[in-house]
Amino acid sequence: MGMTFDFSGQTVFVAGGTSGINLGVAQAFARAGARVAVLSRRQEKVDAAVEGLQGLGAEAAGFAADVRDYEAVEKALGAAHQRFGNFDVLVSGAAGNFPAKATGMSANAFKSVVEIDLLGTYHVLRAAHPLMKKPGGSIVNISAPQAFLPMNMQMHVCSAKAGVDMITRVGAMEWGREGLRVNSVVPGPIDDTEGMQRLAPTEAAREAVMDSVPMGRYGKASEIADCCMWLASPAAAYVTGAVIPVDGGWSLGGAQAMGQGFEQLAKPQ
Ligand code: COA
Ligand code: NAP
């Protein structure tokens, strides 16, 4: 069980909030009383997420859109705003990942990840900015250790997530005086997620990851949610432009070493 926060009467939008970590974040805000809207590509995932959020007693809405498509993002955010009012909290976490050498993927593969992670984050923040509560709104980008640790077979993700953290920092500078805060949360390896399934698919790889985390265990989506809720709470009223690892110490070095194990995961070209 996470910490206790109260977001009743507040509106939270989670881009990419239909599975894994981001869904855990959406559910935590729902449990804390917020109205929650989620967006992702696949209608069936959107419907399942909304049903689950409503099952927690929250008012919830979902939108099927690709973050690479600015007009679709703008339309979805507009519809959520019309229904739930200004966004108190925006979490942007849609992303894609696979292990591949820079020369072991096509130019289109690299572009796909940059378009989802980096351009998608810009699209979501750009379209959400006029709809955010100001002053008082909180934006959280979901980053990754790849943003600051060069990692084998992750050139696409490293470059995209480094850009995401720069969106966080420049956004914090440009929007600070409007009373809008922007921060990044950097998850460590989180249990039961698509991301870790792709990067550590075997039991041996799972154990190697655990060995590489100073705290010796995987994290939980609820632990990422706790940090997002803290950032959105008055307790973090003076925190902006921060990039905060929530990773059991993984980004102190272990995360980077993990990349060496990716060789065997590469798709034959
Ligand atoms: N190794 C090398 N290239 C790969 C790859 C892999 N494991 N997986 C996909 N690609 C390439 C494809 O071959 C394609 O390139 P091509 O057109 O030159 O053949 C390109 O990436 C785009 O793939 P496609 O499946 O057409 O794109 P998409 O837009 O449907 O999917 C991805 C985007 C590739 C990022 C996909 O993995 C995805 O949707 N991921 C979301 C879920 C996820 O990654 N979760 C973890 C969270 S970080
Ligand atoms: P996940 O379950 O695959 O979550 C990705 C979400 O984004 C899904 O809801 C997916 O739904 C959506 N999405 C993907 N591409 C999209 C697009 N083009 N447009 C709109 N939505 C899209 O993965 P996860 O592992 O929980 O990762 C969540 C976030 O945490 C990511 O930002 C990831 O980089 C970060 N992270 C994860 C870990 C980890 O341990 N898993 C570690 C560090 C950082 P659809 O398929 O329906 O689009």
Q: Provide the terminal-to-terminal Cα distance of the chain, rounded to the nearest Å.
A: 44
106: exposed, middle or buried (Cβ count in 10 Å: 0-12, 13-18, 19+) = exposed
Question: Taking 90 as the threshold, does the pLDDT of residue 230 lie above it?
Answer: yes
More confident position, 254 or 14 = 14
Ligand 2, residue 46: give the atom nearest the CA. 47
Q: Cα 242 to the chain's mean position, in Å? A: 15
Digit-coded pLDDT (tens) for 129-148? 999 999 999 999 999 999 99
Q: How far is the CA of 205 from the centre of ligand 2 (A)?
A: 20
Count: domains in the chain: 1
Digit-coded pLDDT (tens) for 163-184? 999 999 999 999 999 999 999 9
Q: How far is the CA of 35 from the centre of ligand 1 (A)?
A: 32
Question: Taking 80 as the threshold, does the pLDDT of residue 267 lie above it?
Answer: no
83 contacts: CB under 8 Å, gap ≥ 6:
37, 61
Please name the residue whose Cα sits nearest to atom 13 of ligand 2.
94
* 5 falls within a domain: no
Whichever domain contains 219, its CATH number is 3.40.50.720
* 192 falls within a domain: yes
Asked if residues 186 and 158 have their Cβ atoms less than 8 Å apart, the reply is: no
* 4 falls within a domain: no
Confidence tier at 161 by pLDDT (50, 70, 90): very high
Spell out which residues line ligand 2, taking CB within 6 angstroms: 16, 18-22, 40-42, 45, 66-68, 93-96, 116, 120, 142, 144, 187, 189-190, 193-196
Asked if residues 171 and 128 have their Cβ atoms less than 8 Å apart, the reply is: no
Digit-coded pLDDT (tens) for 56-82? 999 999 999 999 999 999 999 999 999
Question: Taking 60 as the threshold, does the pLDDT of residue 2 lie above it?
Answer: no
124 contacts: CB under 8 Å, gap ≥ 6:
15, 67, 73, 77, 90, 92, 94
Position 3 scores a pLDDT of 66
Mean pLDDT of all residues in 239-256: 96
Task: Spell 245-255 as b/e; 16+ CB within 10 A means b.
Answer: bbbbebbeebb
Closest Cα partner for 89 from 202, 182, 189?
Answer: 182
pTM: 0.98
Distance CA 175, CA 160 (A): 22
Distance CA 151, CA 140 (A): 24
Q: Which ligand is nearest to the CA of 164?
A: 2
* 126 falls within a domain: yes
* 6 falls within a domain: no
The overall average pLDDT reported for the chain is 96
Mean pLDDT of all residues in 1-9: 84
Q: Could you list the residue range(s) of the whole structural domain that residue 77 is in?
A: 11-265
Q: Which ligand is nearest to the CA of 206?
A: 2
* 197 falls within a domain: yes
* 46 falls within a domain: yes
Position 156 scores a pLDDT of 98
Please name the residue whose Cα sits nearest to atom 10 of ligand 1.
109
